Amino acid sequence: MTFASLGLFEPLLNALDALDHRTPTPVQAKAIPAVLSGRDVLAAAQTGTGKTGAFALPLLQRLMQQGVPAGANGVRALILVPTRELAEQVHQDIQAYAAHLPLRSLVAYGGVSINPQMMKLRKGVDVIVATPGRLLDLHRQNAVRFERLQALVLDEADRMLDLGFARELDALFRALPERRQTLLFSATFSSEVRQMADGLLHDALSIDVSPRNAAAQSVKQWLVPVDKKRKTELFQHLWHTRRWQQALVFGKTRKGVEQLTAELIANGIAADSIHGDKPQPSRLKALQRFKAGEVRVLVATDVAARGLDIEALPLVVNLDMPIVPEDYVHRIGRTGRAGSEGEAVSLVCADEVQQLAAIETLIRQVLPRREEPDFVPDHRVPQTTLGGQVIKKPKKPKQKLIPGSTKDGSGASRVHLGAFQEDAKPSVKPVRAMPGFGKKSPKKPR
């Protein structure tokens, strides 16, 4: 199968040739003809399988064929994404695909000045890639108009429809024309999200090109049990002993990300960080340095779990397990992309066993465990099952000590231990409450 056989026209085929994209991926093979025909689509596919091309290529062709100008401050196709990093990545892909097309595109997100975005919108654009919050700001300031909108795309739709974006999305959907083509793409879809999607889609084609919510087979996954306080130490131990060359490390909090980054730099490992508190230019610079090989360890919160397309990234490390199981799939999807092999290592402490069980249930596999001899945890990480069950070892019953004997049963002379037996009754009688103290004494009948 070729891209030409899917119905794409020559300008897009030339762009794909320049990008060395020869063969459609499974999700592209199923989605491109449907989008070209104007159908709504709900597509689930693993990360790194070409989802952006699946909606962007046919969308660009339809915009060229329809040929309706956007008009002042207008937009013809809207692509909503959850993070700034993903917005940049998708926009770069759009620009590459449209290299031979006379279409205007714009990326819009918060954390940077809104004025340049407003200036670019004055003449109208064909495609805008945006985060919901910034797009709503632009709309409220009359900088963007949706009267001529022909298509709406929700990329990473599970996160877009999550409660964290519900308010912004509700406001945006009210402003969009009802007659439009709607496309929802993501690696993970919960049953609840699929029900919510029913209200947005009309006669939609549902595409599942891989097991739902599954991790890519190209990623080798395993975990190391460890005590929480020794996670950073264990990571550095693994870095040196296994001679890792580059790693994307995910932490739970911004503070934890910065602490690990500082410690790695202090120990001579080139590191940088990405999280929500950093200005967007700093986040982009850290990513560029990582892609260029100047930084060997990029430490990030889940803002980097989606949208980072790093060529041949060998390793993802979960310093902290994610709270949301689906985020695990997106995290490890940064490696093993486009058919290459990758590795995902999780450092798991006893407090995270419930999160581990939920993740294993989602991906339908129990992660193999590899203990590091010098890092065997004092607090054991219980075994887990695919059903989400945590298997706890039964506690050993306390051994009662009998007066005159020891734990080993010998009759050696010892201090009398009767008062310390588990079932022994206290030898001192409780003192009765005196009148006027504690509870009031009942009044005597007159």
Contact (CB, 8 A) for 344 and 219: yes
Read off φ and ψ for residue 52, nearest 5 degrees: -60, -45
**pLDDT for the residue numbered 96:** 95
Single-letter amino acid code for the residue at 342: G
Q: What is the pTM assigned to this prediction?
A: 0.67
**pLDDT for the residue numbered 399:** 57
3-state secondary structure the chain: CCCHHHCCCHHHHHHHHHCCCCCCCHHHHHHHHHHHCCCCEEEECCCCCCHHHHHHHHHHHHHHHHCCCCCCCEEEEEEECCCHHHHHHHHHHHHHHCCCCCCCEEEECCCCCCHHHHHHHCCCEEEEEECHHHHHHHHHCCCCECCCCCEEEEECHHHHCCHHHHHHHHHHHHHCCCCCEEEEEECCCCHHHHHHHCCCCCCCEEEECCCCCCCCCCEEEEEEECCHHHHHHHHHHHHHHCCCCCEEEECCCHHHHHHHHHHHHHCCCCEEEECCCCCHHHHHHHHHHHHHCCCCEEEECHHHCCCCCCCCCCEEEECCCCCCHHHHHHHHCCCCCCCCCEEEEEEECHHHHHHHHHHHHHHCCCCCECCCHHHCCCCCCCEECCCCCEECCCCCCCCCCCCCCCCCCCCCCCCCCHHHCCCCCCCCCCCCCCCCCCCCCCCCCC
Single-letter amino acid code for the residue at 304: A
**pLDDT for the residue numbered 311:** 74
What does the buried/exposed string (b/e) look like for 74-84 if buried means 16 or more CB atoms within 10 Å of the residue's CB? bbbbbbbbbbb
pLDDT in tens, the chain (446 residues): 899 999 999 999 999 999 989 899 999 999 999 999 999 999 987 666 788 999 999 999 999 999 888 889 999 999 999 888 889 989 999 999 999 999 999 999 988 899 999 999 999 999 999 999 999 999 999 999 999 999 999 988 777 766 467 788 888 988 999 899 999 987 777 676 777 677 788 889 988 876 555 556 778 999 999 999 999 999 999 999 999 999 999 999 889 999 999 999 999 999 999 887 888 788 889 988 998 899 999 999 887 666 667 777 899 999 999 988 888 988 888 887 666 788 999 999 999 999 999 999 988 889 999 999 999 999 999 998 877 778 876 555 555 555 555 544 444 444 343 333 434 444 444 444 444 444 444 444 44
**pLDDT for the residue numbered 218:** 77
**pLDDT for the residue numbered 338:** 60
Q: Give me the domains of the chain, ranges plus CATH numbers.
A: 4-208 (3.40.50.300), 219-391 (3.40.50.300)
**pLDDT for the residue numbered 400:** 55
**pLDDT for the residue numbered 195:** 72
